[in-house]
Structure 1
Amino acid sequence: MGQILDHIRSRVLGRAKIGSTRRRSEGLLEGAHLSMSHGRSQEYDDLRQYVQGDDVRDVDWKASARSGSLLVKRYIAQRQHRLLLVADVGRDMLGRTPSGERKKDVALNVLGAAGLTSAAHGDEIGLTYGDSRGSQQVRPRRGESHLETLLKRVVEHESAAGSGLAAQLRHIRHHNKHRHVVFMVSDEPDMDDDLVNELRLVASRHKVFWAVIQDEPLLPALAGKDGAIDVGTGELLLPWSAIPRNVLASFEESERHRLADFEARMQTVPVAWTRISGTGDIVRELAAMIRRSNHHGA
């Protein structure tokens, strides 16, 4: 068992705890995995506790009546996936999330949660990672020891270059001819035409999920942290009290437009996505994202 995966089991999936927290985490991600496979097998496996979002057709009403709690049938997936984890890990990922965690740490937890769910089903898991300068790729294999190796690559990658998700997507297009489930993690990028075009091209061949790690709000950070550093430029930021009110208002308006533009552009690409503000959101947001994708055919 690897050190990184042990941490993710405890921190993200709640395996250090017992009872409903653990069952809920496992149940949500189990259902998510079945959604990723575009349907279910008819080969019955066992029963598990119902969690919000499960298909009512899977409820075993007789078993539920006997046990006194709602149970759903769990099936063995008809086929395994080729899962490609994608990590955009430029220097921007050294910033903080709204939860106060480092973005790169939250990204690692997201990748680990997705990877553990697929590893448990015998999926092949590969990795593409890098920054605006380019990408590296690790060929897919099965097993948790391989997943641990992939996550170590992400941990050990240090970059002075900025993030560049479009570069990772171009690498995927040029080096992955077989269909994959592509599971991307990045910070909040600017949605320029190049990135939108790459998303469309990759999504035309692969099933794509995208977890966007949110930035810590700049203004509250400035209000509480005199001398905060911009991770993108390395420059010292002014304290909140030194910034004119009209400048603050202009910045807030710009942020609203940026977020609205991001969401509008995402409506034009067949990619399932979610925003994650911290480790505590991971299981809920990933499961919800994958269920939405299954319902809408993204």
Structure 2
Amino acid sequence: MTSTVPAIPAPGSLPASGGSGAPGLDTGMPPRTRTGQAHSRLAAVRARLELPVVRRASGLLDGRHRSIFSGHGQDFDEMAQYLVGDDIGDIDWKASASTGVPIIRRFERESNLAMVLAVDTGRSMAALAPSGEVKGAIAQFACDVIGYLARGRGDLLALVAGDAERTVQIPARGGTEHMEMLLQRINGMLALDGPPSNVTHVLDRVLTWFTRRSLVVVVTDEVRPPLESEQTIKRLRTRHELMVIQVADALPTDFGSQPVEDVESPLGLPEFFRARRDMAAEARDAVARRRSDVAAMLRRYNVPTVTVGSEAEVVDGLADLLARSRRARH
């Protein structure tokens, strides 16, 4: 299933990718630039974030790591009596039954854990969101926030980004310079003249490339991953912790008399066609069915998902996503 979500083209609103290039895998790094001369995405995102929300998201990420890696590399420290404020997920019920009081198992905190950004860079991400913002800009901001949180925690961050013709994979590393390079690489791939989306290919690459259990954050369109990805989603869910951030699409009927084009064709959608109530209702129903089908597939495998329609919704949406993901594990 391919995206046919219409949008008003916004030339220049996203940086040009320099063409789609030859099909295949790209593991090369961009030319190194001085940090002082390059635009700092991490500094920009820090200036925009509200600290209370960031702390909430970062704290939930701590909890996410504990539940992900329990039994997968954490060193056992001690048994201790449960105290108010301890995580109930750490309770050892067998030991609690034998002693008559709640007992928890404590582990040494593991640092430098791996996070993977799996980003859909197809041209449908250059369409418009309901807010009127370009979806690619919202997706980029979501990636910036994740990079900012990972850098602040000292975690390693890896990237798999791609579409129908390109795949970029960057190994997991830490540090500001690595984060900046990774985020700039995503920014350079999001463009209206990019190839069609193929997020299934991106997920397949994550599945084959990452053997270490990681937190995989998928950033894509609201009607993706497509149903054809179901087996890949199932396998990924058994190997990794998986979460999906979907960027919402604007409907073609949202723009009144303004010219509208479909980013996949691209073909103009005439106003008289969009103004007909029966056609507008049919378009809304078709999109709702696609959203429902994708949401049902992700629920089958307990994949937490959040849909954002603007940059303003990203941080709260990510914090909510982490909170629901953590509750689902307990």
TM-score range, shorter chain: 0.7 to 0.9
Structure 1 segment 69-88 matched on structure 2, within 5 A? 77-88=109-120
| Corresponding residue of 1:38 | 66
| Corresponding residue of 2:270 | 238
Aligned equivalents of 2:272 and 2:52: distance in 1? Answer: 41
Distance of aligned partners of 1:190 and 1:274 in 2 relative to their CA distance in 1, 3 Å threshold: closer
Deviations 1:3-58 (A, max 9, x none): 222222223x1xxxxxxxx3322222222211221259999xxxxxxxxxxxx827
Higher mean alpha-carbon deviation, 30-39 vs 268-277, is at 30-39
Of 143, 156, 175, which aligns to 2:188? 156
Question: Is the partner of 1:87 in helix, strand or coil?
Answer: strand
Aligned equivalents of 2:283 and 2:212: distance in 1? Answer: 44
| Corresponding residue of 2:285 | 253
Which fold has the larger relative contact order, with Cα–Cα distance below 8 Å and residues 6 or more apart in sequence?
2
TM-score of the pair, normalised by structure 1: 0.79
Aligned equivalents of 1:241 and 1:88: distance in 2? Answer: 30
Asked if the contact 1:200–1:270 (Cα under 8 Å) also holds between the matched residues in 2, the reply is no
Distance of aligned partners of 1:240 and 1:206 in 2 relative to their CA distance in 1, 3 Å threshold: farther
| Corresponding residue of 1:120 | 152
Of 159, 166, 173, which aligns to 2:200? 166
Distance of aligned partners of 1:147 and 1:198 in 2 relative to their CA distance in 1, 3 Å threshold: same
Deviations 1:42-94 (A, max 9, x none): 99xxxxxxxxxxxx827xxxxxxxxxxxxxxxxx9543310111111111111
Q: Which amino acid aligns with 1:250?
A: E
Please tell me the root mean square deviation across aligned C-alpha atoms, in Å.
Answer: 2.6
Contiguous gaps of at least 5 residues in structure 2: 1-34, 78-83, 87-107
Structure 1 segment 156-195 matched on structure 2, within 5 A? 156-157=188-189, 158=191, 160-190=194-224, 192-195=226-229
Question: Is the partner of 1:107 in helix, strand or coil?
Answer: helix
Of 27, 36, 44, which aligns to 1:7? 44
Q: Which amino acid aligns with 1:29?
A: A
| Corresponding residue of 1:206 | 240
Question: Which has more radius of gyration?
Answer: 2
Aligned equivalents of 1:286 and 1:273: distance in 2? Answer: 9
| Corresponding residue of 1:220 | 254
| Corresponding residue of 1:25 | 53
Higher mean alpha-carbon deviation, 263-272 vs 233-242, is at 233-242
Structure 1 segment 127-138 matched on structure 2, within 5 A? 127-138=159-170
Aligned equivalents of 1:119 and 1:23: distance in 2? Answer: 15
Structure 1 segment 134-145 matched on structure 2, within 5 A? 134-145=166-177
